[in-house]
Structure 1
Amino acid sequence: MLSNDLMKKIRHIEIRTKRLVTDSFAGEYHSIFKGRGMEFEEVRPYQPGDEVRTIDWNVTARTGEVYVKRYVEERELTVMLVVDASASENFGSVQQFKRELAAELTAVLSFAATTNNDRVGLLIFTDQVELFIPPRKGRKHVLRLVRELLAFEPQSKGTDIRMALEKVNHILKRRSIIFLVSDFIADPESYRVALATTNRRHDLIAVDLHDPMESEIGNVGLLAIEDPETGEIHWVDTGSKAWRAAFRQRVEGARAGKVRAFRQAAVDHIDIGTEQDYVAPLAAFFQERYKRLRH
């Protein structure tokens, strides 16, 4: 049974995100994510004006009469939300945890999809697949996805992006839109090839969540830092300028590695911090992609 706090949080997310979708994102979503193209519907007798290239020669030879293949535009898409639930996603130092941010982003993208009559599914992963919900349509289904993201307790703390993408590629037989939501703290080399492989088969967008304290630590004296995925605790002297400089250098190197992996795989990515309103970076992504499609 859901707690009152969780129900209130889900309701708040629904109200906020549905308004955003109605006011801002539904039309842009429709413009930048196209359907699968032309889908075969039926074979019918030839009519004057039909193009020769549409003739079904096998049926024509079998029946002795000319038949053509009829195609219709297929608009319906499948959107798969692949969300990292490893322990580092439960970190947040300013306004919200990355996990809460992921839930709200999931709601926005899901409501945008359902507004366009698309199906939405969810795969939650750590270093294993924790939960898979097949793609479906409708408001109730979207609210279930949000509820699972907020309430779900993963069995593991680690993260394995490559494994998650391989699983999605096995599940999805037709080209789909995949939003990969993670903080991407793993070594980029461990998932770079999987990004490229998935992006060739589907339309993959990486949503990179981060917290400001992960990139900047001030002089607060001795500080115990725990790795959320391994549980290891390290004491550091934040008063040391040399340590703070080395820390910034490591963070910048890790950031550059992620961006390089996205670029090499030709994967679009959206950068969102827990301290900011996600509307601006999400809107910028939609607008930038729309401009590219027009040129």
Structure 2
Amino acid sequence: MTKNTTSQWLNELHTNGVELSVQELLRYQQLTSLVNLAPKSAPQAQLSGAYLAKQKGRGMEFDEARHYQAGDDIRAIDWRVTARTGKTHTKIYREERERPVFILCDLTASMQFGTQLLLKAVQAAHLTSLISWSAAKRGDKVGALVFNDQLHRECKPLSRKPAVLAICHELLAVQKASNVGITPNIEGFADACARVRRVARPGSLVYLISDFNHVSYAATQHINHLSRHCEVQAMVVNDPLEQALPDVPLVQPVDVTDGQQRQTWLLGDQAQQHAYQQWRVKHTESVEQIFRQAKVKHQFISAGMPLDEQLGTRMGRKR
């Protein structure tokens, strides 16, 4: 990626790639077609709302007219069809179901990393904003749990624009707090999953947005339980440097740190490059195994490209 390309994208996204602003989150109000929140499977809970269920009964969406049967509600008799056919017919409606959308957004220390365009945390915030605006446009209630290593901010599922603005407000506040020196909390992700498990109503669509670098056994158990009652989708945010070390012509040492430990890597060293890639592949496979066991669909999102480029291409939509 060239410097000019990066600058152009940052200008389009209204961001500097590190801090969050209201303008960059509001931008996704115009890009809701990038994601499809339609149910992928039959409802898993007995809720009322805007999704058509298989059960037929009294509701707002007309399904068919059939012959009157003993026990049918006489108030549902279709008198026009009855008069036309000479046989009593009753109207059948398909019940409506509500499916709240709930988003877990990870802004912890490991997400405060980026090498080409955005910090992973900023990309996660963009994705949270996009999903929230998409849910609001569909008429779904949308809520979120936004957290870093010290803060957990919960937005209860609400409808329309105020719900999204509340989520954007928490994204801004938590990311701003994350830029201050914070000691990493390796159990923070598991704690957040436990909170989502308690607050997400059965039948909800739940998005887990994280780099999943700290998926403990406890977190895995919470995800498994959550997927039994909700439709869960994982959005794995990564950075290009996490996939492979830079390919440089000459071997050169560089110091790297996670804020606590410091190491020296040899860029351009083929043995270290191979060892790093093997470690990364193993980590990715372990995370994917967790998703498969929990029957959670997942998608990889790069912090090195705008969401417009990635989601527009993958879902076959125009920008």
Superposition TM-score tier, normalisation by shorter sequence: 0.7 to 0.9
**Structure 1 partner of 2:258:** 227
Percent of residue pairs identical:
23
List structure 1 segments (4+ residues) > 6 angstroms apart after TM superposition: 5-8, 284-287
Q: Distance in 1 between matches of 2:47 and 2:156?
A: 24
Conserved? CA contact 2:106–2:148, under 8 Å: yes
**Structure 1 partner of 2:21:** 9
Q: For residues 8 and 281 of structure 1, do their structure 2 counterparts lie closer, same or farther at Cα, with a shift above 3 Å needed?
A: closer
Conserved? CA contact 2:20–2:172, under 8 Å: no
2:272 to 237, 243, 248: 243
Q: Distance in 2 between matches of 1:13 and 1:193?
A: 32
Q: For residues 159 and 286 of structure 1, do their structure 2 counterparts lie closer, same or farther at Cα, with a shift above 3 Å needed?
A: farther
1:276 to 305, 310, 317: 305
1:100 to 122, 132, 140: 122
The TM-score normalised by the length of structure 2 is 0.69
**Structure 2 partner of 1:84:** 106
**Which stretch shifts more, 158-167 or 79-88?**
158-167
Q: Distance in 1 between matches of 2:111 and 2:171?
A: 11
Q: For residues 10 and 51 of structure 1, do their structure 2 counterparts lie closer, same or farther at Cα, with a shift above 3 Å needed?
A: farther
1:177-196 alignment runs, 5 A limit: 177-187=205-215, 189=217, 191-196=219-224
SS of residue paired to 2:256? strand
Q: Distance in 2 between matches of 1:282 and 1:111?
A: 15
**Structure 1 partner of 2:3:** none
Deviation, 1:109, is 0.7
**Which stretch shifts more, 171-180 or 126-135?**
126-135
Deviation, 1:147, is 3.0
Equivalent residues, number? 258
Structure 1 unaligned spans of 5+: 43-47, 55-69, 288-295
**Structure 1 partner of 2:37:** 29
Q: For residues 162 and 144 of structure 1, do their structure 2 counterparts lie closer, same or farther at Cα, with a shift above 3 Å needed?
A: same
**Which stretch shifts more, 125-134 or 179-188?**
125-134
Q: For residues 212 and 188 of structure 1, do their structure 2 counterparts lie closer, same or farther at Cα, with a shift above 3 Å needed?
A: farther
Structure 2 unaligned spans of 5+: 1-14, 49-56, 60-66, 74-91
**Structure 2 partner of 1:67:** none
Q: Distance in 2 between matches of 1:185 and 1:77?
A: 29
SS of residue paired to 1:209? strand
Structure 1, residues 28-74: CA drift from partner, whole Å, max 9, x if none?
A: 424648765664989xxxxx9466499xxxxxxxxxxxxxxx99723
Q: Distance in 1 between matches of 2:42 and 2:164?
A: 21
Q: For residues 81 and 285 of structure 1, do their structure 2 counterparts lie closer, same or farther at Cα, with a shift above 3 Å needed?
A: farther
Structure 1 residue 267 and structure 2 residue 267: aligned? Answer: no
SS of residue paired to 2:21? helix
**Structure 1 partner of 2:281:** 252
2:167 to 117, 137, 145: 145
Structure 1, residues 116-171: CA drift from partner, whole Å, max 9, x if none?
A: 11111111234666211211122233123123213322565224333222221212
1:147-166 alignment runs, 5 A limit: 147-152=169-174, 153-154=177-178, 157-160=184-187, 161-166=189-194
Deviation, 1:80, is 1.0
The TM-score normalised by the length of structure 1 is 0.74
Q: For residues 173 and 37 of structure 1, do their structure 2 counterparts lie closer, same or farther at Cα, with a shift above 3 Å needed?
A: closer
Structure 1, residues 105-124: CA drift from partner, whole Å, max 9, x if none?
A: 11111111111111111112
**Which stretch shifts more, 191-200 or 246-255?**
191-200
Deviation, 1:188, is 5.9
**Structure 2 partner of 1:61:** none
Deviation, 1:172, is 2.8
Q: Distance in 1 between matches of 2:41 and 2:311?
A: 14
Q: For residues 51 and 128 of structure 1, do their structure 2 counterparts lie closer, same or farther at Cα, with a shift above 3 Å needed?
A: farther
Q: For residues 282 and 73 of structure 1, do their structure 2 counterparts lie closer, same or farther at Cα, with a shift above 3 Å needed?
A: farther
Deviation, 1:238, is 2.4
Cα RMSD (Å): 3.4
Q: Distance in 2 between matches of 1:41 and 1:165?
A: 37
1:49-60 alignment runs, 5 A limit: 49=68, 52=71
**Structure 2 partner of 1:210:** 238
Q: Distance in 2 between matches of 1:53 and 1:214?
A: 62
Conserved? CA contact 1:128–1:163, under 8 Å: no
Q: For residues 74 and 157 of structure 1, do their structure 2 counterparts lie closer, same or farther at Cα, with a shift above 3 Å needed?
A: farther
Conserved? CA contact 2:210–2:237, under 8 Å: yes
Q: For residues 265 and 124 of structure 1, do their structure 2 counterparts lie closer, same or farther at Cα, with a shift above 3 Å needed?
A: same
